[in-house]
Chains A and B, each alone.
Chain A
Amino acid sequence: MTPLLEINQLNATVEGRQILKGLSLTVHAGEVHAIMGPNGSGKSTLASILSGRPGYEVTGGSAALDGEDLLGMKPEDRARKGLFLAFQYPVEIPGVNSTYFLKAALNEVRKARGLPELDALEFLEFIKAKMKVLELDPSLLNRPVNEGFSGGEKKRNEIFQMAILEPRLAILDETDSGLDIDALRIVAEGVNRLRKPDNAQVVITHYQRLLDYIVPDYVHVLHDGRIVKSGGKELAYELERRGYDWLTSEARPVSPELTTA
């Protein structure tokens, strides 16, 4: 079976500095992968490169979504093909109404999937249920996208958008940071409900706590631009106990086969 996401020996630079150094990762449909690793190890960079953020240069390797080369695609086409990034730092867009924004986004994605566009009424109907799951304050939707949202509201809004767009591959970049304990549970619950046999989630986090709620099939440790260790969910506990030192001192790349089932 073609993996949903296949990254092979990815090398990338930012501002001339090499950040990713031969990173490989394979994710199949139906799986949840967690990526952990120290600050500055390249986790957000990986998410940025997969989603096509400008400013990063791929100097080697490949990444494919559903067997299709990702790296040559425009960011909007990646999104329309089902790649979703829940941003570590969601961006404020003053003047653009959230509901309007989301409807436009959903219709782009639906168009790409050959589905009819939704009109305003159908859209409101469609989002009602999703709002309930995430216990999102409806008044947020009348405000400009993320403008003045609290840190936690922004994160919750990211997952709300994910719920609306129903991506095939969702990358969650530190969605747990900034969430209070109740919000964490609600958001994680929302993410879990979106889990389906034909989609997958890559969860970037520093804390094992999130993984109590979103239980991963695999945990990977990213260090200095490559994955240095992969394991099952128990690896997260070990990291919580021991930190990263024991891994980073003897860091060496693992072969791609070891990172998947």
Chain B
Amino acid sequence: MNTNNDTIQGLVGGDYKYGFVTDVEADAVAPGLNEGVIAAISRKKNEPGFMLDWRLKAYRHWLTLQEPRWANLRYPPIDYQSIVYYSAPKKAGQGPKSLAEVDPKLLETYERLGIPLHERERLAGVAVDAVFDSVSVATTFREKLAELGIVFCSFSEAVQQHPDLVRKYLGTVVPYTDNYFAALNAAVFSDGSFCYIPKGVRCPMELSTYFRINAANTGQFERTLIVAEEGSRVSYLEGCTAPMRDENQLHAAVVELLALDRAEIKYSTVQNWYPGDAQGRGGIYNFVTKRGLCKGRESKISWTQVETGSAITWKYPSCVLLGENSTGEFYSVAVTNHYQQADTGTKMIHIGRNTRSTIVSKGISAGHGQNSYRGLVRIRKSAENARNFSQCDSLLLGDRCGAHTFPYLEAANPTARVEHEATTSKIGEDQIFYCNQRGLATQDAVNMIVNGYCKEVFKQLPMEFAVEAQKLLGVSLDGSVG
């Protein structure tokens, strides 16, 4: 039927609510990248010598690498010399700070974003670390967590207060040699979150980091490291937004997770970086390396991501299943609307015996969006009785968008059991009409169908975030069918 296009096209184009800019004075280095800039970043952060050495090694390695171009993504060359690699709100200052010291303008920003930073918001039951441009501005609930021996603080602070832990674990899961963007991040990262859960401790609340890019022409390079000792458990949530700007901004983060014997880490992301406008102008380039190492036996790492933002997404949260009986999971919803492009998926590397992995990926494309799932399941020879189940579904709204899947499987052990299911569906005009005929408006019908489609992933999220994610999806697809 000829009206398909009009009908499905109109629905795209909800407003990005987080596009405002906060007017704070910034302490920034000049644009460009060289050893001097890296030394300046390290100096500003008052880092011990081992950090600067590591950064410089990473930088020198980065110079030998080529930007990867194998992903199904199209974008103009990135000029690494025009980026500002460090920008911090002036008043934030250095080191640990209580909320009372935080610039009220920043607190207001987070209020506007719906992130309560005040300890009195205890009822929310979520400890938050907020990263504004390059530095962490506040971490809540710290004392309460400290009573249990949990360290939850900004990365800068961890370098000062727990240098031994940082030195021991930094780069052990994602070495700076890993890839182009991981090397860049290692050289210039300015902050992020650090989290250490001691042996046997179950973290009593959600830990959450909220990333915000504010300054113009600034890259954000944060690094998160979570170590879960034997028998411990933690659930961690990350959220991201940025102002609306016409130029593209680079975000290249690294997340490292380490789970020891019987430890469990659940890492959830609701990524809502500015996606660019309806014509494809502006938006964040999101090149992120996330990896978890299930080092201990019976350990478990679970990634859940809801990716609605960014102009470009290049991201493959992965699990290395080294410990016997360890488990890796990846649950993903990725939305591309307008001219957004996403190349995202996971890698499950089975090394230990009886390791298991589950992959559930739901791609949604609307407008001119291009959505690619790229996944690798590798079963090494040592991985006796490994199992993987993968399900990759694509949903198309309209016929100007695209969905692609690139599943790779390498099984070197004959006892491996691997199942892969994939579907591609289109929200059919007849489905929308059926809903209309029962009194539902087209937008509501689309939301209903999309939410139904994502249910399996949403139910992995902590309750209140699942509700948020559902709303976010509605906004992202607003107007994608008329």
Contacts of B3 in A (CB 8 A): 54-55
Task: Please give me the residue from chain B that is nearest to A104 by CB atom.
Answer: B440
The reply to whether the CB of A108 lies closer than 8 angstroms to some CB of chain B is: yes
Contacts of B448 in A (CB 8 A): 96, 100-101, 104
Query: Which of A85, A87, A92, A101 has the largest count of B CB atoms less than 10 A from its CB?
Result: A101
A63-82 to B contact mask, C-beta < 8 Å, 1/0 = 00000000000111011100
Question: Contact between B431 and A76 (Cβ–Cβ < 8 Å)?
Answer: no
Residues of chain A at interface, number, CB under 8 A = 33
Q: Is the interface of B mostly helix, strand, loop or mixed?
A: helix
Question: Contact between A79 and B439 (Cβ–Cβ < 8 Å)?
Answer: yes
The reply to whether the CB of A97 lies closer than 8 angstroms to some CB of chain B is: yes
The reply to whether the CB of A120 lies closer than 8 angstroms to some CB of chain B is: no
Check A109/B452 contact, CB under 8 A, given A87-B434, A91-B431, A91-B434: no
Query: Which of A54, A55, A90, A94 has the largest count of B CB atoms less than 10 A from its CB?
Result: A54
Question: Contact between B452 and A54 (Cβ–Cβ < 8 Å)?
Answer: no
Query: Which of B7, B430, B455 has the largest count of A CB atoms less than 10 A from its CB?
Result: B430
Contacts of A133 in B (CB 8 A): none
Pick the residue among A55, A90, A104, A112 that contacts B2 (CB under 8 A): A55
Question: Contact between A76 and B441 (Cβ–Cβ < 8 Å)?
Answer: yes
Question: Contact between A96 and B441 (Cβ–Cβ < 8 Å)?
Answer: no
Question: Contact between A94 and B453 (Cβ–Cβ < 8 Å)?
Answer: yes
Check A76/B434 contact, CB under 8 A, given A54-B429, A96-B448, A97-B452: no
Check A51/B437 contact, CB under 8 A, given A91-B430, A97-B452: yes
B235-253 to A contact mask, C-beta < 8 Å, 1/0 = 0000000000000000000
The reply to whether the CB of B442 lies closer than 8 angstroms to some CB of chain A is: yes
The reply to whether the CB of A105 lies closer than 8 angstroms to some CB of chain B is: yes
Contacts of A144 in B (CB 8 A): 452
Q: Closest CB-CB distance, A227 to chain B, in whole Å?
A: 24
* Complex CA–CA separation, A9 to B455 (angstroms): 48
Contacts of A52 in B (CB 8 A): 433, 436-437
Pick the residue among B434, B441, B442, B453 that contacts A95 (CB under 8 A): B453
* Complex CA–CA separation, A53 to B425 (angstroms): 21
Question: Contact between A53 and B433 (Cβ–Cβ < 8 Å)?
Answer: yes
The reply to whether the CB of B435 lies closer than 8 angstroms to some CB of chain A is: yes
Check A161/B434 contact, CB under 8 A, given A54-B429, A144-B452: no
Task: Please give me the residue from chain B that is nearest to A89 by CB atom.
Answer: B430
Q: Closest CB-CB distance, B331 to chain A, in whole Å?
A: 15
Task: Please give me the residue from chain B that is nearest to A92 by CB atom.
Answer: B431
Question: Contact between A93 and B438 (Cβ–Cβ < 8 Å)?
Answer: no
* B:387-413 near A, CB below 8 Å: none
The reply to whether the CB of A25 lies closer than 8 angstroms to some CB of chain B is: no
Question: Contact between A74 and B436 (Cβ–Cβ < 8 Å)?
Answer: yes
Contacts of B100 in A (CB 8 A): none
Contacts of B439 in A (CB 8 A): 76, 79-80, 105, 108-109, 112, 165
Contacts of B435 in A (CB 8 A): 93, 101, 105
Contacts of A91 in B (CB 8 A): 428, 430-431, 433-434
Contacts of B436 in A (CB 8 A): 52, 74-76, 79
* B:417-433 near A, CB below 8 Å: 425, 428-431, 433
Contacts of A76 in B (CB 8 A): 436-437, 439-442
Question: Contact between B1 and A54 (Cβ–Cβ < 8 Å)?
Answer: yes
* Complex CA–CA separation, A105 to B448 (angstroms): 11
Question: Contact between B1 and A85 (Cβ–Cβ < 8 Å)?
Answer: no
Task: Please give me the residue from chain A that is nearest to B444 by CB atom.
Answer: A104
Q: Closest CB-CB distance, A238 to chain B, in whole Å?
A: 33
Contacts of A74 in B (CB 8 A): 436
Q: Closest CB-CB distance, B368 to chain A, in whole Å?
A: 22
Check A93/B1 contact, CB under 8 A, given A51-B437, A54-B433, A165-B439: no
Contacts of B428 in A (CB 8 A): 91
Query: Which of A87, A96, A97 has the largest count of B CB atoms less than 10 A from its CB?
Result: A96
Question: Contact between B453 and A75 (Cβ–Cβ < 8 Å)?
Answer: no
Question: Contact between A94 and B425 (Cβ–Cβ < 8 Å)?
Answer: yes
The reply to whether the CB of B201 lies closer than 8 angstroms to some CB of chain A is: no
* Complex CA–CA separation, A55 to B1 (angstroms): 5
* Complex CA–CA separation, A109 to B440 (angstroms): 9
Query: Which of A51, A95, A97, A100 has the largest count of B CB atoms less than 10 A from its CB?
Result: A95
* Complex CA–CA separation, A76 to B439 (angstroms): 4
The reply to whether the CB of B113 lies closer than 8 angstroms to some CB of chain A is: no
Query: Which of B429, B439, B448 has the largest count of A CB atoms less than 10 A from its CB?
Result: B439
The reply to whether the CB of B449 lies closer than 8 angstroms to some CB of chain A is: yes
* Complex CA–CA separation, A93 to B3 (angstroms): 20
Task: Please give me the residue from chain A that is nearest to B441 by CB atom.
Answer: A76
Contacts of B449 in A (CB 8 A): 93, 95-96
Q: Closest CB-CB distance, A197 to chain B, in whole Å?
A: 23
Task: Please give me the residue from chain B that is nearest to A85 by CB atom.
Answer: B437
Pick the residue among A51, A80, A87, A96 that contacts B452 (CB under 8 A): A96
B160-172 to A contact mask, C-beta < 8 Å, 1/0 = 0000000000000
Question: Contact between B440 and A105 (Cβ–Cβ < 8 Å)?
Answer: yes
Contacts of B441 in A (CB 8 A): 76, 108
* Complex CA–CA separation, A55 to B6 (angstroms): 11
* A:42-70 near B, CB below 8 Å: 51-55
Pick the residue among A54, A95, A108, A161 that contacts B7 (CB under 8 A): A54
Q: Closest CB-CB distance, B329 to chain A, in whole Å?
A: 20
Check A75/B433 contact, CB under 8 A, given A55-B2, A108-B440, A112-B439: yes
Q: Closest CB-CB distance, A65 to chain B, in whole Å?
A: 14
Contacts of A55 in B (CB 8 A): 1-3, 429
Task: Please give me the residue from chain A that is nearest to B438 by CB atom.
Answer: A105
* B:24-66 near A, CB below 8 Å: none
Contacts of B453 in A (CB 8 A): 94-95
Task: Please give me the residue from chain B that is nearest to A86 by CB atom.
Answer: B437
Q: Closest CB-CB distance, B144 to chain A, in whole Å?
A: 36
Question: Contact between B452 and A93 (Cβ–Cβ < 8 Å)?
Answer: yes
Q: Closest CB-CB distance, A7 to chain B, in whole Å?
A: 18
Q: Closest CB-CB distance, A138 to chain B, in whole Å?
A: 20
* Complex CA–CA separation, A76 to B441 (angstroms): 6
* Complex CA–CA separation, A74 to B451 (angstroms): 24
Check A165/B438 contact, CB under 8 A, given A55-B1, A96-B452: yes
The 4 A-B pairs at the shortest CB distance, nearest first, are namely A95-B452, A55-B1, A108-B439, A75-B436
Q: What is the interface of chain A, defined by CB distance below 8 A to chain B?
A: 51-55, 74-76, 78-80, 84-85, 87, 90-97, 100-102, 104-105, 108-109, 112, 144, 161, 165
Task: Beyond A76-B440, A93-B435, A102-B438, list 7 extra A-B contacts (CB 8 Å).
Answer: A74-B436, A76-B441, A76-B442, A91-B431, A94-B425, A95-B453, A104-B448
A selection of 15 A-B contacts at a CB cut-off of 8 Å is A55-B1, A79-B436, A80-B439, A91-B428, A91-B431, A91-B433, A91-B434, A93-B435, A102-B438, A104-B440, A105-B435, A105-B438, A108-B438, A161-B438, A165-B439
